[in-house]
Each structure stands twice: as C-alpha cells, then as structure tokens.
Chain A
C-alpha cells in the first residue's frame, strides 16, 4: 500500500512538473486573437480571403508594402523605377534581405514566384493575368528584376504588395508533381517576420518571431501570435475572462465588446475602413431598371437610422469610400431620406399609378441586414411598392448574381478594395467586364462608365486618373446605379498593453504584427 502511495505521489509530482515546464516554456510577448474563419491556405499563390491574408502578411514579404495612408513603401525591394509609359517597372532588391532559412532573396526568386502564380492561376493571380504575360518578368542581375506590362495599367504598382515572394530553391526542391502545392500547403518558404510553429486547420495557428528577420523589430516586439478559430461569442468572452485572449476579431457583437471593455483589461477601438456597404440595385430588371424608381428608393432609405442604430458606419456621398480622398468627387450630393421626394420620383417613372412589385434581398441570418430590409419594406410599402423579402444564404447570393434575371432588385452588399487603388473599387463593381459576380449586382452596363474606367487604367498620371474617377462617380450618382449606405468601421477589443494597430487600405495588411509592440 505504501509503495502504491509513493508511486502515485511520484507520478503526480512528475505530471505537475511536466505541466509547469510545458506551459512555462513560452515566448515573452504573446498575442492571442480569435478569428471567425479557418485559414484555408498559406500558399501565397492560393490565398484569397481575409483570414488567409492575415497569416500571409506575417509569413511572407512582398517587394513593396502599403502604409496606413495608402502609399507604397519598400519591403524586399529598396527602390524601383517606372518607365514613362508605365509599361516597365524595375525593382532593386535590398542587399541584406534573406529568407527564413538564411539564404538571400534574389531576382530569380521573384521571377519564380511570379511564374508559379500565373501557372497555378488562383489566389492573387487575377490581379496580374492579362497585364503581365508569362516570361515578362526578368532577372537583370541577382538584385534587379524587371516587370514588363502588356499594356499600361496604372493600378499595377498598387497590386504588387499581393505578390509575396517565395524561396525558389526551397520550393523547387519540394515541387513534387503539383508545383509545390502540397509542400506550401503545410510549410512556409518566405522572408516574413514570423515563422509557422503549429497549424491545426480546424482550430488554431501559431506563428513565432524570426529573430534574424532582415527588417528588424520595434522594442518589445510581439514574439508569438496565436489565432484561435471561433465565431462563438460566448467562447470569445470566456477566453477573455480566463486571460487567454489578447485581441478579438472584428466581427463581434456590441454586447461582446461591452462585456470585454467592462473587464478593464481591454480597450475597444474603431478604425475607419475603405470597405463600403451598399444597397445594390439591379439596373436591368423591372422596376429598378427605371432611374426614377432607383432615385425613389434612395429617397426612401433612412440613412441615419441605418448608420446610427442598425450598423455603425461613416456616411458616403458617392460609391467611393472617403479614405480615397484624392479621388473623391466632393461635388456629388449625398442621398437623403425624404419620402415626399420619393413619391415625386415615382410619379415621374414608367410605373406611376401602379402597384410596383419589388424584391429585397439580404444575407439570411444576418440580423442587422434583416432589420434594414424590414425598414426598407415599411418605407417602400408606404409609397405603393409591393415588397417581397428575399433572405438568401451567402452561397445562394453568389449564384443569383451570375445572371441579370436571377439578381433581386435590392441587394445589401459589403465590398472593400483588394489593393490600394480606386480601380479596385470601380472595375469589379461597375465595369461590364466585371459583371456576373456578387460584387457587380448593379448590372451597371454603361459604355460611358466602361470607357472612363478603361481610360483611368491606361494613364499613369494620377491627376488625370482622379478626374476620370470623379466623372464616373458623377454618372453613377446621377443614374443612382447604387445606393451607398456607409463605409464600415472595423472594431476590435484590444488588450491595453498591445499597441501598434493601424488600418491599412489593403486586405488584412493591418495585421502585420511586426508593427505591433507590447507596452506594459
């Protein structure tokens, strides 16, 4: 009996010691953040969504990156020159830039990365397809690389941060028979500030600071970032209460932000974003094919209630969010809520004097969208519309958007730029070549707008571009192609000790944890 007791005591002591060792051997400054989606891919040629980019901007570096004011700043490239006709860009790489394995970043890595991106034809390749042909990226010498564009494409430089450079030697050695897709699905071959430690796809990812990172770190840098995949708000609160959580994702309810703020350890910060929230009107099916009906709907939209009560956001006067201030048409008058003017517009329409059937669609299960839709229904029915509510799951929305006939009359859609250029807001939404996706549920189909967007893409002169985009905004507003509701505020509850979060107008680049530091 005594021997058993001693054995049990020894085992308990061993366990306790082992646990202490395991939990004690951690890095100094740890950030734990929840994310509402899983990381689908960390292969920079395949990343596509907000969550994928969140990991990629920490694991990989591009030639250039984006500053909070939207300007392009050096990263792996120390400088670049653009030819007068903007069809050739030459980058000079930093002499000290290295990959995580210590090997130098060279021009051949850039060439390999670009060719592989085009070969796989996924992820960010759509930014370059048709703009830079295969073979059009050349290594001039070890540290110089030239991109030759098939045509002048002014947003080209703005798309470059999405090109994240892989270690060509390492990737080629592990290419297998699938162009290293299997290898880069599990491993990192980048020059980023952080290395992958563990990744359990369904639940969590951990990255750790690469202390040899060529770019250096601020004082009290973040040593380790841990992401926990959960969209359950009770879990987020429990993690915060137990001390596990450092920072929330942006998609929490007001109650959760309040609960975390009440704990004292967190501050809740709002960041103005370039993501816009629109009421997209199908411009090609009845009754929203009539500009007077579209204007009537705009006048029947209670903007203040939506922005102040249902979903917090900043006002927009045109389809372009205010963060693109250099390109904004400030002469356009923001739409207002006025039921009398709405009635007057209906009287001018081809549908005057009739009952007007109309479909209002929103993403099913999204409470604030349902509330907005009900608010619209009340106002529209008071004007003589016969409203059909059409809640749809998101995957159904993407399918409906493929055809004019399938697209409902009104659709609540969020859309933000994928690269820091107004082109990212105009081309996919309002150019005819972008039609058929959920981004372009307006079905604008205007040759005039197409021509202006094409002209803006083809000029390297920023002032000329701005003038063209202002014209586009004026036309879109005159024709009431879309109703801009608000530009989104991004909210996070952040530990009081964590500093350095700044919004960047490119998808998830604000989560570059190299810029964060611990301040306690």
Chain B
C-alpha cells in the first residue's frame, strides 16, 4: 500500500502511540475494514482523490479567512483523506469524560455567578475568578443553569486508554462545520469505505443545536426567533457561521442588523423590526455591547447588555463563560468535577505549572527546553514556546517575556501525541493528531459522535492548528457491534 517512509522519520514516529497499528505492526480492530479498503487502492488513485477533494472544497467554498495586510484572503484547510477511527469502547470513554467536564464547568459557572460555594470552600483561588478579565456581568435567568451551550474539548491521546484534555473551549469554539463537511466529502469520494461498518452519523448536529437554542428562549416563547450573530465576513470562522445559520435555517446577523428598543432586541427586516429571542453569538464578550465594553466596537449592539439582564433575550454561550476556559482555570477542572459531581475526572488533565507560583516558575525556567510554555489567554497556537523544538536564543527571549508577567503563563510537559496514518508527500505516513469533540448543553447534554481531528501535516510537528499549517480528517466512531 504505502511506499517507503524515510527511516529517521519512521524511527521518530515509532516512539508514539499509533492509532492504526499496535507496536507489533498489527492493525487494530477498529481499522481492519479501512486497512482492507486502502490495500485495494493505489497511491496514484489516492492522489487523484486528494485532488478531487481539494477541488470540491474550493468549489463549495469551505474556507477560512486569514488576516493579511490590506484585508483578508481565503484559504482552504488541508483535508486528509484517511479517516481517524475510534472504536465504540474508546469513544465511550471520551464521551463520558467530555460530558462530565462540561457538566461540571456549567455548574462552576452558575456557582461563581451566584453563591460562590467553591470559592468559599477554597478549592479555587478567588483571585483567579475575580481578576479574570472574562469575569463579566452576571447573567440572569439562565435556562437549566446552562452557561456554555456549546463547548469544544481539546484532547490528545498518548496510549490505549490515555486521553488528556489540553483545554476546554467554552466561549465560541469553532470547527464543527469542518467536522460535518469532512464527512460529506468522505461519503461523496469514498462511499465504498463505509461499507460493512457502522460509522455513527454526525449530520444532525445543527438540528440538535437549534433544538437547544430554541429551548433557552426567555419566557418559553412558542416559536422563538433565533439568530446567529457573526462579526462578519472577515472573521476566520465566517464560513462556519454561514454554514450553521444555513443548516439551522436561521438568520445570520451582524451588529448593525440588531438594535435595542423598549427593553427588547430587534432585527431590521424588509417588513420592519422583528423581535429576537435567542442569539447564538460567535462574537467575544468584549464586542457585544459598546455601552458596556469596547466603546468603539462596530460589531456590537448598543444596549444589548441591559436586555440580557432583564432576561428578554438569551445568549448562547452566556456572557462571562470565559472565566472557565483560560489555561489557569483549566488546572482546577478535576476539582470542580469532584466538588460538584462527587466523581473522579474520567479524562486526565495535563500536568500544568502555574508560573504565578515563584517556585514553579523557577522550575520551568530551568527546564524550559523540555516544556511547552503558553500564554494563559492565548489561542490558535500563537505566542507559545515548544521547548524541545526551539533554539537556545528563542528560549532566552521567551524567558524574558515570562519574567515580565509570570502570572500570564503556564507550562506543560511536551506530550507524546498519538499518530494517525496520513497522506503526505505521496505516501501514507504517520502524523500527530488531536481531537476536538463538541458538547451541546440545553435540555440535555450530548456529544456529537466523533469530533474534529486535526493533524500536524509537517513532519515531526506537534502543532495541529490550522493557522499553523495543520489539516483535518474525518473522524469515525464505530457503533457497538460494528467490529
């Protein structure tokens, strides 16, 4: 099937958990069917399919915007044809773990905006909450105490049953549109690959999301008006905003389309103002209301905050969820799970050094070449240092940044991310992958089976972010009894 892989590369990748094959080179049960299917294909025909996939993505306009000088350009996220497969027993662990985390996080958010029991119990340092820039105005009338209606949990795998959470994204996580489109493209290009195995369908995500959004409408409106609020076409996730609005059949609005009058939010339509009940917002807190936050923001809706406070419009995700998803609060999630649910965390946290602590800071500075150092509020793989992959000079420069404001940084050991077979340079080679399952909360909490698998296409790279040249794969969950 595959051609020769360079020896040093093969040696490097041999150290990591391989999703498809065990250490003896035997194909794992979940991959048996796929391996058989791939064996029947030549590398040439895979290359042809790859071209077809790229053309399809381009024609369908599945792109993300990249800010460049003088505007923005659209790029394709590289798509890899070889799916990543999870056996139902593996998925079961991931699913239960994600549900548990998001439940605890929602309870935590409700708690800190109400009784603050966890702070009184001194399980989470109060200043981490009160000094957090995302600690916002208290929202009222939160339906079923849900703050994070949509969450994306970033996971990496290091062994058979070893999944580690890298971060919990509970503000406005992106990527679900790629998850759904990847499946569409796979079913279009490789219908035969699905034969003989039960791959869990993912297509009803928009429907479930809409159901949850309708459920949180204030005053139990019978036919609530739900809109999706986007920062606009220059946002990197604009494709996703359009995609979800289209799939849910709701209006895609920008700040200028909305206004506040008589204590309610309205949108401007060709037939006059129409009242809005629920806003699925893909805009950060700070840009929501220029009267309350950034005064000059053109993305915002003046007076929106007062309507939220009056309980006349529901926001998903609620304002102020960001408190729970920064990289410092992350270390306390296992405690939240114990405190609120009385359970042990199913998914592991990565050992994390808090540089706000002078001792830990010193340890990190001394061992920086073995660690990954990140900004607490950073995202997209920007502003981080990967110790083992950096030069002495880069390490020194980074140390200087850390010393200016240690509290703004955390550090973690470099993880041995698992690898997945990936079409690279005309060969099938192992590449590092992560996984972002999406958790929906509303009437019920559920996880879409699979998630977005991101893959580091560059050889030996551990960075999977699309802004750093990462790609994506379709992610299959095999249903019970399938293998």
Q: Check if A and B associate.
A: no
B residues with a Cβ closer than 8 A to A are: none
Interface, chain A (partner B; CB < 8 A): none
